[in-house]
Amino acid sequence: MAQILVRELDKGVVERLKKRAREDGRSLESEVRLILERAAHEPRVDMETARALVENVRKKFKGRSFPDSVELVREDRGR
C-alpha cells in the first residue's frame, strides 16, 4: 500500500480529526484513511453538469410559487 505524508496541518484540524476518530471508535490513522477513501470515491461534478442539474430543477418548478421562508422561520421561532 502507498503512504501519504501531510505536512503543516493546522493544529485545530488534527484535534478535530482526533475527536472524530475517538467518537467513532477508531484510531486517528483509520479515521483519516476512511475519510480519504470516501473522498476518492465520491463522483466529482463538473460545472457543465451542475448547470444542467440547476436548469432541470428550474424547469421542474417553473411557474410555482412558494411561501416566504422568512415568515416560516418567524412562525417556527414563535412556537
Q: What is the DSSP string of 33-58?
A: HHHHHHHHHSPP--HHHHHHHHHHHH
pLDDT at 78 > cutoff 90: no
Q: What is the pTM of this model?
A: 0.57
Q: pLDDT of 8-37, one tens digit each?
A: 999 999 999 999 999 999 999 999 999 999
Quote the cell numbers at residue 4.
501519504
The single-letter DSSP state of residue 8 is S
CB contact at 8 A, 32 and 17: yes
Quote the cell numbers at residue 28.
486517528
CB contact at 8 A, 57 and 66: no
